[in-house]
């Protein structure tokens, strides 16, 4: 039994809901009358409704995100049919903008836009007292972070053991990139550092080993960034890792001194490059010093053991395929361990829509609102880029093909066009874009490299075998056993990089 039930559908089980824990932590005296229930996208909406109503709530609060708005709409519709007396309150980034245009908004009793940490508690107090506000849409505003209770004590033992722990030192972003919701979240505000460090210490004491900071620009405020890195460095133990999103062209010596000291693989930096085309960057109000960015990349690769996760976006207004390809090749040359090949999304509320007419921007009307075509990239090519992104994850980002990946663009071949050719061949061969079993993928890689590209079998097969066995597998696929000697059977190869948790920006909360 609970008067208030907070619920959301996470993209995957490992994505613990950060936002709902904030709401629960800030309910004050109502906290004992509330429950938090998390589901994922594999659950049927009607079964979720059953689980929610079993608590006989008076108020249901839902966190709405780009990945869960469709199934949550179905859930809310079912609840309103079965229990129309239950008050439904929505919040989250997806419902905070263009609110009245969304079907789910018409089903809700109340909607809190923006940061709801304190506004949700105020609304619940009023509703449970029988005082129903006349306005349906309530602006959460920008609460003083010193007054917001941190939610980290709400991470349970199971969360510590099996989920990514989201943490934050600040909210807001100083930049105005037109494709990003963070551009609407200004100014930047800091949580009180002593309170944050005390909360992080408590998590460490309870056995936490992985921390994903969701700050939009972690290195913006140098004293705070240094203090947090010093804190983790002094307490680091084997198996711990820390994820930060960094402004790529700002890496002063004070940060470099600390970064150098972390063991290899314990730091993961998410670096949003997005485009190397300066004209396109100016068009979308993205400010960055590309020369300094490249210098920092080279320093990080040469002098540290940081795992670099870099982002590029295809489909930006005014960026041709040729321009994107040049940027992709430029990024590959900098050597990040992962490149997230993103497709532009027209998120609700972001100002990039002002370019629609001039550049012929056509987006899907359905989440995640990816671009379908524009004046420089037609629908057919955009589909090829979409497949490229998926195949790049399978091959280059997975860690399964460390040696083999560069063979897809031999010699002076462009990495972009070399991989695009492989991606088109794979799509024609497989006829599908869902998952492909690893042994079959190895067989197709072997066929493509030796038959289509004409690379020597005696060079391709051993590299593929080492890639396959690097994760601890003792056998090799049949296609390789035919050309390799018996000494390859039963031999495992060590050295695969540690697996780090990867999330795109819009799966991070």
How much is the average pLDDT of 447-468?
Answer: 95
B/e letters for 154-177, b = 16+ CB within 10 Å, e = fewer, are ebeeebbeebbbbbbbbbbbebeb
Q: How many CB atoms lie within 10 A of CB 323?
A: 17
pLDDT for 451: 97
DSSP β-ladder status, 362-363 and 371-373: antiparallel
How much is the average pLDDT of 451-465?
Answer: 95
**pLDDT above 70 covers what percent of the chain?**
96
**pLDDT tens column, 2-59:** 999 999 999 988 899 999 999 999 999 999 999 999 999 999 999 999 999 999 999 9
pLDDT for 489: 58
Q: How many CB atoms lie within 10 A of CB 135?
A: 8
Higher pLDDT, 192 or 432: 192
- CA 321, 334, 236: angle at the middle one, nearest 5? 130
Residue whose structure tokens are 């008067």: 3
Distance CA 266, CA 240 (A): 6
How many helices (H) does the chain have, and how many strands (E)? Answer: 18, 16
What rounded mean pLDDT belongs to the chain? 93
> What is the pTM (predicted TM-score) of this model?
0.92
**For residue 350, which of 275, 280, 284, 287 has the smallest C-alpha distance?**
284
Higher pLDDT, 498 or 181: 181
Kindly tell me if the per-residue pLDDT of 421 is higher than 80: yes
Kindly indicate the confidence band of residue 470, based on its pLDDT and cuts at 50, 70 and 90: confident
**DSSP H/E element including 466:** helix 457-469
Q: How many CB atoms lie within 10 A of CB 27?
A: 20
Kindly indicate the confidence band of residue 494, based on its pLDDT and cuts at 50, 70 and 90: very low
* C-beta contacts of 448-455 below 8 A and 24+ residues apart: 448/408, 448/422, 449/404, 449/407, 449/408, 452/425, 453/407, 453/408, 453/410, 455/407, 455/410
φ and ψ at residue 457, rounded to 5 degrees: -55, -40
How much is the average pLDDT of 155-164?
Answer: 92
Domain boundaries, the chain: 4-145, 155-343, 400-509
Distance CA 351, CA 366 (A): 18
- CB distance 445 to 401 below 8 Å: yes
CATH level 3 topology of 4-145: Rossmann fold (3.40.50)
**pLDDT tens column, 68-81:** 999 999 999 999 99
Q: How distant, in Å, are the alpha carbons of 198, 244, 303, 382, 500 from that of 258? A: 21, 14, 12, 42, 21
Kindly tell me if the per-residue pLDDT of 506 is higher than 60: no
- CB distance 116 to 101 below 8 Å: no
CATH level 3 topology of 155-343: pyruvate-formate lyase- activating enzyme (3.80.30)
**pLDDT tens column, 368-410:** 999 999 999 999 999 999 999 999 999 999 999 999 999 999 9
């Amino acid at each position: 039994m609970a008067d208030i039930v907070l619920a959301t559908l996470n993209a995957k089980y490992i994505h613990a809901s950060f936002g709902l824990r904030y709401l629960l932590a800030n309910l004050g005296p109502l906290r004992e009358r509330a429950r938090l229930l998390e589901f994922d996208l594999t659950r049927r909406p009607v079964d979720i409704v059953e689980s929610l109503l079993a608590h006989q709530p008076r108020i249901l609060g839902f966190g709405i995100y780009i990945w869960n708005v469709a199934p949550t709409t179905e859930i809310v519709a079912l609840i309103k049919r079965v229990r129309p007396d239950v008050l439904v309150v929505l919040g989250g980034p997806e419902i905070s903008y263009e609110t009245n245009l969304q079907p789910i908004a018409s089903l809700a009793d109340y909607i809190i836009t923006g940061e709801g940490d304190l506004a949700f508690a105020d609304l619940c107090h009023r509703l449970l007292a029988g005082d129903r506000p006349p306005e349906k849409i309530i602006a959460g505003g920008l609460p003083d972070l010193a007054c917001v209770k941190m939610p980290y004590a709400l991470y349970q033992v199971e969360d510590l053991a099996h989920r990514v722990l989201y943490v934050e030192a600040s909210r807001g972003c100083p930049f105005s990139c037109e494709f990003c919701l963070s551009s609407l979240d200004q100014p930047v505000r800091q949580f009180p550092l002593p309170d944050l460090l005390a909360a992080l210490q408590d998590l460490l004491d309870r056995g936490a080993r992985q921390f994903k900071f969701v700050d939009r620009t972690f290195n913006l405020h140098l004293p705070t960034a240094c203090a947090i890195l010093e804190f983790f460095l002094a307490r680091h133990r084997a198996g711990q890792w820390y994820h930060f999103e960094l402004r790529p062209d700002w890496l002063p010596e004070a940060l470099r001194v600390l970064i150098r000291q972390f063991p290899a693989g314990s730091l993961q930096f998410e670096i949003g490059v997005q485009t190397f085309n300066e004209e396109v960057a100016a068009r979308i109000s993205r400010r960055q010093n590309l020369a300094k960015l490249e210098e920092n990349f080279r320093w990080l690769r040469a002098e540290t053991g940081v795992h670099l996760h870099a982002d590029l976006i295809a489909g930006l207004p005014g960026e041709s395929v040729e321009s994107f390809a040049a940027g992709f090749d430029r990024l590959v040359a900098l050597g990040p361990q992962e490149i997230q090949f993103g497709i532009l999304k027209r998120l609700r509320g972001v100002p990039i829509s002002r370019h629609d007419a001039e550049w012929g921007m056509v987006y899907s009307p359905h989440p995640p609102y990816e671009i379908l075509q524009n004046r420089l990239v037609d629908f057919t090519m955009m589909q090829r880029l979409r497949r490229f992104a998926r195949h790049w994850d399978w091959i280059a980002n997975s860690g399964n093909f460390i040696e083999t990946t560069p063979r897809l663009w031999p010699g002076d071949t462009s990495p972009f066009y070399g991989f695009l050719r492989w991606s088109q061949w794979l799509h024609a061969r497989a006829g599908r874009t869902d998952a492909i079993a690893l042994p079959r993928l190895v067989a197709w890689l072997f066929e493509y490299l030796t038959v289509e590209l004409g690379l020597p079998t005696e060079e391709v097969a051993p590299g593929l075998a080492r890639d396959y066995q690097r994760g601890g597998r003792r056998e090799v696929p049949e296609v390789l056993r035919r050309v390799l000697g018996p000494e390859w059977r039963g031999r495992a190869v060590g050295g695969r990089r540690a697996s780090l948790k990867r999330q795109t920006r819009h799966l991070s909360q």
